[in-house]
Amino acid sequence: MKNNKKKVFILKKGEKFMKYLKQAVIESKAIYGHMIRIILTTIALIINANQIIWITNAFSDPNNSTHWVNLLIGGIVINFCIDAYIERNASITNHYTFRRLSEIFFQKINSLDYDAFVSISPASIITSSSNIWKVSKIPMMTVGFIRNIIQVIITIGAITILSKKIVIPVVIIYLIMAFVGFKLFRVWGEIDKKIDNNNHKRAAEIDMCVSGFQEMRAFCTQDFHWKRFSDIFDSGGSLIIKRSTINLLITGVFQISDGLVTVGMVLYLLNCINNHSIVASSATAVIVLVWRLIEPLISIIDFMDQSSELTAPIPKIEKVLDYQNSVINGKIHLDKFNNSIEFQNVSFQYNESDNVIDDISFKIEKGQYIGICGRSGGGKSTLIKLIPRFYDATKGKILIDGIDIKDYDINSIREKIGIVSQDMYIFDGTILDNVKYGSEHASILDVTKACEKAAIFDFIQSLDKKFDTEVGSRGIKLSGGQKQRLALARVFLKNPDIILLDEATAALDNESESIIQKSLDLFKNKTIIAIAHRLSTIKDSDIIYVVDEHKIVESGSHEELVEKKGVYFNLLR
């Protein structure tokens, strides 16, 4: 009973994915190509089966042999044209399906909210993207499966025309063979899922080695990761051996059965020839047609093999495609930030954990410079992630200009916000590409001014290729401070109404930090919210909010908080 439930669940999962595959096939218009292939294939198979009968008739009726030979030549020409068209059509339709399915997947990734990239590992998303090519072959493979079914039916029909008595035992024997093959295929499918999981582990291990290369070398853990990688390959190798053993069993069953069927047919047909119930040419044609049954039957089993391999990645791809964003987009467009940002009794928790932010209320007026500080783990970074709606508050409201941010179009909010965090992502490309990221139409003059404000222009000018210097993957060719200033230049160029700084100057030396602070002062009428451990960064803020134990425990100017001699005063010490 348990196994039956599991089968039903797997079928339902497959059905869920098929809606995306169906959408890709229809929208790419590949469906018309597949339909044409099925029609032309049927015509070709009918001609093919008849060619054997025409050859038999030519030998049986020499007086009309010219007629049969002409039919044979015509059939060869037509089949050549059909095969050439089908070969080209298959590649094109498969490419169209692959492209559309890739577009659906990519559009989904781009629409995922912040929490999705916490729930789904990057390695899983990357391997799923790579496996799109596999699953896009399913429609083409299905057409091939239909072709083989049609070939079996047409071949059995041709055998029936030549010898009705031999059809029933042949069909029964091949049905038994197909049943045995199907049973073995089910085991095959389970192994393919394990192989796919093994591939995912291997990709995740490589991703860790690439992303964490610095830590690996610092802690001398190369041998540790090599052992893990080797163990993954060993387990994958045993699965592949198991899979090849089943393949050998299936091939052996079919070859032995086919041999026995052939021997049985030869003995039976020899008896029929001796009894003059069939001529030798027709008997030969029957054997040829029966032999031609084995090819499509093996292809049907091969389809089951390949389909198990192609469908194995589906659960991981579905996890991405079926992910439901917790942050729902609003409809009001925020044309301009005019007045204030207000937190009203805001609480937030990740999943079922304790509150990371607990009943926080405060108001930020337009043009204010707000500092937020506190001990690590108090919820400071989470607090400012709620403003651009990377997450939504679990309780309470956040208002922008008096309207709940949940009612705004998300992109219209984010267009007004510039974010610089401690771990800003630097893209593989040039310095110019990174500074202009999100502001691709900016002039070189504007780029230069942004870099001057971020105190990185002099460094860029010292490079041989200046703005055209390649920074490498994740900015590997830059120091931590240079990455931070490059990220700041990106925000200066965007020139947003609201600036969120999450430890934005943490990687800078005191001199660079001082320059950045002066640059931030140049933003007139901009609202700046800065989180800092280094309190010198925020001491000139209009208001400083001190977060402790997930609540705001103090607020005021630097001087006022020092006088209180509370949490802020202790942080200074």
Inter-helix orientation angle 314-321/65-111, to 10° = 50
pLDDT in tens, 337-377: 989 999 999 998 887 777 788 889 999 999 899 999 888 77
pLDDT in tens, 296-324: 877 776 776 677 667 777 888 888 888 88
pLDDT in tens, 529-547: 988 877 877 888 889 998 8
Confidence at residue 486, expressed as pLDDT on a 0 to 100 scale: 87
pLDDT in tens, 142-180: 888 888 888 888 888 887 877 777 777 777 777 777 777
Residue 211 CB contacts under 8 Å (≥ 6 apart), including other chains: none
Q: Look at residue 188 and tell me whether its pLDDT is greater than 70.
A: no
* Listed residue (377, 336, 376) closest to 354, CA to CA: 377
Percent of the chain with pLDDT over 70: 89
C-alpha angle with apex 492: 490 to 493, nearest 5 degrees? 65
Model confidence band, residue 201 (pLDDT cutoffs 50, 70, 90): confident
* Listed residue (481, 487, 373) closest to 420, CA to CA: 487
Q: Look at residue 14 and tell me whether its pLDDT is greater than 70.
A: no
Task: Count the neighbouring beta carbons within 10 Å of the beta carbon of residue 193.
Answer: 18
| Lookup: tokens for 153 | 């039916």
E strands, 295-391, in order: 340-348, 357-365, 369-374
Q: Which residue has the tokens 């229809």?
A: 26
Q: Look at residue 109 and tell me whether its pLDDT is greater than 80.
A: yes
DSSP helix, strand, coil percent of the chain (3-state; round to 5): 65, 10, 25
Segment holding 502, helix H or strand E: strand 498-502
Q: Which residue has the tokens 């992630």?
A: 385
- Taking the C-alpha atoms of residue 318 and residue 303, their distance in angstroms, rounded to an integer, is 22
- Rounded to an integer, the average pLDDT of 44-51 is 83
Inter-helix orientation angle 280-311/138-162, to 10° = 160
Rounded mean pLDDT of the chain?
81
Length of the chain: 573
Confidence at residue 342, expressed as pLDDT on a 0 to 100 scale: 93
pTM score of the predicted model: 0.69
Please say whether the beta carbons of 419 and 491 come within 8 A: yes
3-class SS of residue 340:
strand
Pairwise pLDDT comparison (403 vs 312), residue with the higher score: 403
Pairwise pLDDT comparison (352 vs 87), residue with the higher score: 87
The region of weakest confidence among 22-26, 112-116, 180-184, 469-473 is 180-184
